[in-house]
Amino acid sequence: MNLKNKVAVVTGGSNGIGEAIADKLKELGANVIIFDIKKPKNTFEYYKVNITKDDEIKKAVNSLDKVDILVNNAGIYFEKYIEETTDEDIDTMVDINIKGTFKVTRNLIDKLKKNKGCIINIASCLGLVPELTSPLYCTTKAGIVMFTKCLAQEYADLGVRVNCVLPGPILTELLEISFKTEEQKKKCANRIPIKRIGNPSEVANVVAFLSSDEASYVTGGIYTVDGGVSTSSIYSK
């Protein structure tokens, strides 16, 4: 795979899965641009962008000459039963996970159409199978799956490919917060058919393929990188 001369925007690319994606695309030759509220540790072109703020997105987008690849990775997660979920919780998660993804895509779509580029949305295996403790999160990620399918249909005849990657449990700072002890991590791993937690690079590898010309006939696809979590409802019990 070769992404030389390609320009890629990665939202939420300063840590976790987003950082691994940015590193992989750069390794393959792409000029990677990070949109994030946090400055990346590695050397990338960076714009401080809160994806809920349309003016911040527009300002960054207007600074870019071209974009070939958009990776909508930025998102948040928390666990709350519906009875505990406040209006503020709903607004925050929907603003970032749904509206933020929509706004970034809306602002970049003209550049992507011009270059017959591609979009990779990062959802979650929990957009396919339920996690009983996080109905709001599951709902937003299911929305990203359908968003992907809609855009794939809309822009196929213009040469823009749109796909979705759905990670399962991945070794990131977010997972470390959720599972603070090795025992908790082991319990999580044992519920995964492959019996281990995934690495960010394993998600990045799939994104890299979908970004490349090798995937030129691939659009509207929903690709799980979850060790088999989404093959069974056992995970959600």
Question: Which residues are the active-site residues?
Answer: 137
Which residue type occupies 3?
L
Helix (H, G, I), strand (E, B) or coil at 192: coil
Cα 121 from Cα 144, distance rounded (Å): 7
Which residue type occupies 237?
K
Beta pairing class for 222-225 and 7-11: unpaired
Paired residues of 121 in beta bridges:
72, 164
Cα 74 from Cα 78, distance rounded (Å): 14
Cα 87 from Cα 187, distance rounded (Å): 32
Q: How far apart are the first and last CA of the chain?
A: 40
For residue 171, how far is the Cα from the chain centroid?
15
Q: Show the tokens assigned to 133.
A: 């403790």
